[in-house]
Amino acid sequence: MPLDKLINYLKLDKQEFMFQFNSHPNYPSALAFSDTLNFMGVRNDAYELDKEYWDELPEEFIAIVDNTFSMVKKSGSQYSVYSDKTNTLSKDELYRKSTDFVLLFEKDPSVSKSVTNYKPFLYLIFTIIVLYSIITQTWYEALFNILSLAGVYISLEIFNQKFGSTSAVIGSICGDTTGNQTVNACNKIINQDKTSILGLKFSDFSLIYFIGIAVLGLFLPVTFLVLKGFAVVSLLAIGYSLYIQGFVEKTFCRVCLLIISVLVAQLIISIFLFENVYFDIKTAILSIILWAVLIFSVVYLNTILGEKENLQKSNAKNLRFKRNYDLFKRELLENQKVIFTDNETFLVGNRNAKIHLSVISNPYCGFCKDAHKIMEDLLKKYPDISVQMRFNYSPDQQNEKATNLISDLMYTYKNKGSEDFLNLVEYWFETKDENKTRQKAGITSGNEDLSPLIIMSAENRNAGLNFTPIILINGYQFPDKYDREDIYYFMDELMEDDDI
């Protein structure tokens, strides 16, 4: 389901969004889409709303337009629609192409797009090569190299498309008129390529070829003869491509024709402007080594990226099962409910909350830092829950530093409020320094009454909660079959479940 423009508009990580969406137990339903947005920090509410009330909607909302989740933005009397591409529709067109489903959202400003983008580095390399060519080479040599870089860029976009990435460049060149980039002429030619030599497709050889001649082009005029030879041999690739497009698929791919144009331009330059120089065996050997390295590298990348894509698809299917709330709830309720008498000490959040979380931890437990971070994140995202930090503490087993630390936490909780207490706990797990923690708490001397904590720790032991960290949801221990981080996926449904 192409959602490029919508994801970019919301400034989300596309790879993460699609993985979470595909792995949802109810994929590809509206519920799965809504839950994924919530998980990515876009709080939202879904409605079935008759069109007569759409004039009352805010300027931005999400709807299902042409069977695709789309961002809709009012712009005067027109509507801009973002999904896999951007369209402008009139009100009548929008109403005709849409269902009654609307989703109102609010973007969390603290959630930013986090994407690893290689293109700035690629552009830097391209800029260096262009400047080097213009400064040190003749105009036709520089033009040859610029054409090589254009071929590298287009071939790289095609290469990435094989592994699930959609390219705005390819889409704009091909003129996607169907509203679905996966069925246009370009993708039909590229995706149905039956060439397979060492597992490489015709598009892979395009990438190898252009990278190779881009490297060799830096050493002009020494490589005149080699590049002229490759340019002549490219006539075979041009003929094969035109035959596939014209006689086999009977449709022409614009991006393929663009690559052919680059090859023809380089062929003309090499034949009419490259001088004939003597055959250099060293240059020929180095060229062979270069092609061998490039072929091996692309084969390796194909293997690695193919395996990664298969693992992601398999993992997404497995996670649909794992993230099924009914299964999680069954596992949760199988544990015996623990009832504590002390529900006040180190309690933060909404005291009348429907969902009450407890974390059994120890300040000196290495794994407890992550558990506390989960609790803090949940408190920020769900202010209607409560969390109790139930530290295991035995005065006869603790040294003076540990006792002072617990005392500082108790003082901060009693005198400075929940926010300062949570900040101090976070600061402790970051520094693991008792003196710095005491300084941050603003305490110079004295110890607090720790009897409530001693009683709470005894309750933990009596309930068999000796190991740390342990998370409980309304007294039910978080199932061992799940990772602690999985709690994020179930919070919305837990909040709505009266049985819990």
Give percent of the chain above pLDDT 70. Answer: 87
200 with 265, same domain?
yes
Q: Which two tokens stand for residue 382?
A: 């769900």
What's 73's domain CATH number?
Answer: 3.90.70.10
Domain stop point among 282, 312, 342: 312
Average pLDDT value over all residues in the chain:
83
Give the pLDDT confidence score for residue 2 in this predicted structure. 59
Residue 131 above 90 pLDDT? yes
Give the pLDDT confidence score for residue 427 in this predicted structure. 92
Residue 194 above 80 pLDDT? no
Give the pLDDT confidence score for residue 113 in this predicted structure. 44
Residue 317, domain member (yes or no): no
Residue 167 above 60 pLDDT? yes
Residue 356, domain member (yes or no): yes
Residue 1 above 70 pLDDT? no
Pairing of strands 470-473, 42-48: unpaired
- 442 Rama sector, left if φ>0, alpha if ψ -120 to 50, beta otherwise: left
Q: Which two tokens stand for residue 278?
A: 């003597």
Distance, CA of 347 to CA of 37 (rounded, Å) = 30
44 with 90, same domain?
yes
Residue 108 above 60 pLDDT? no
Q: Worst-scoring range by mean pLDDT, 155-159, 399-403, 415-419, 486-490?
A: 399-403
**Euclidean distance between the first and the last CA atom of the chain, given in angstroms as a whole number:** 35
60 with 28, same domain?
yes
Residue 319 above 80 pLDDT? no
Strand partners, 289: none
Give the pLDDT confidence score for residue 193 in this predicted structure. 65
Give the pLDDT confidence score for residue 145 in this predicted structure. 94
Count of domains forming the chain: 3
Do the beta carbons of residue 350 and residue 383 sit within 8 Å?
yes
CB atoms near residue 299 (< 10 Å)? 16
Classify residue 117 by its DSSP letter: -
Give the pLDDT confidence score for residue 349 in this predicted structure. 92
260 with 380, same domain?
no
Classify residue 362 by its DSSP letter: -
263 with 238, same domain?
yes
pLDDT in tens, 197-240: 777 887 888 899 999 999 999 998 888 888 998 999 999 988 98
Which residue would you say has higher pLDDT here, 158 or 424?
A: 424
Residue 4 above 80 pLDDT? no
86 with 156, same domain?
no
Residue 317 above 80 pLDDT? no
For the residues 263-279, what does the mean pLDDT come to?
A: 85
Tell me whether residue 233 is exposed, middle or buried, using C-beta atoms within 10 angstroms of its C-beta: 0 to 12, 13 to 18, 19 or more.
Answer: exposed
pTM given for the model: 0.55
Close Cβ partners of 127 (under 8 Å, ≥ 6 residues apart): none
For the residues 318-324, what does the mean pLDDT come to?
A: 74
Residue 58's pLDDT band (cuts 50, 70, 90): confident
Which residue would you say has higher pLDDT here, 257 or 395?
A: 257
Domain stop point among 312, 338, 370: 312
Q: Helix 119-136 to helix 139-161 angle, to the nearest 10 degrees? A: 160
Residue 179 above 50 pLDDT? no
Residue 114, domain member (yes or no): no
Strand partners, 46: 103
Residue 63, domain member (yes or no): yes
Residue 35 above 60 pLDDT? yes
Domain that holds residue 146: 119-312
293 with 195, same domain?
yes
Residue 61, domain member (yes or no): yes
- Reported residue count of the chain is 500
Residue in 338, 339, 340, 359 with CA at minimum distance from that of residue 348: 359
Instruction: Spell out where 57-185 has E strands.
Output: 60-65, 68-75, 78-82, 86-90, 98-107
448 with 387, same domain?
yes
Residue 471 above 60 pLDDT? yes
Residue in 234, 235, 257 with CA at minimum distance from that of residue 245: 257
Distance, CA of 193 to CA of 196 (rounded, Å) = 9
For the residues 20-24, what does the mean pLDDT come to?
A: 77
Chain-centre distance for alpha carbon 360: 32
For the residues 454-476, what does the mean pLDDT come to?
A: 89
For the residues 299-318, what does the mean pLDDT come to?
A: 77
220 with 148, same domain?
yes
pLDDT in tens, 72-89: 888 777 888 887 677 788
Distance, CA of 136 to CA of 77 (rounded, Å) = 55
What's 418's domain CATH number?
Answer: 3.40.30.10
What's 307's domain CATH number?
Answer: 1.20.1440.130
Distance, CA of 500 to CA of 484 (rounded, Å) = 18
Q: Worst-scoring range by mean pLDDT, 247-251, 358-362, 363-367, 447-451?
A: 247-251
376 with 432, same domain?
yes
Q: Worst-scoring range by mean pLDDT, 166-180, 347-361, 458-472?
A: 166-180
Residue with tokens 């015996």: 336
SS3 label, residue 359: strand
Distance, CA of 78 to CA of 76 (rounded, Å) = 5
Distance, CA of 389 to CA of 52 (rounded, Å) = 50
Residue 112, domain member (yes or no): no
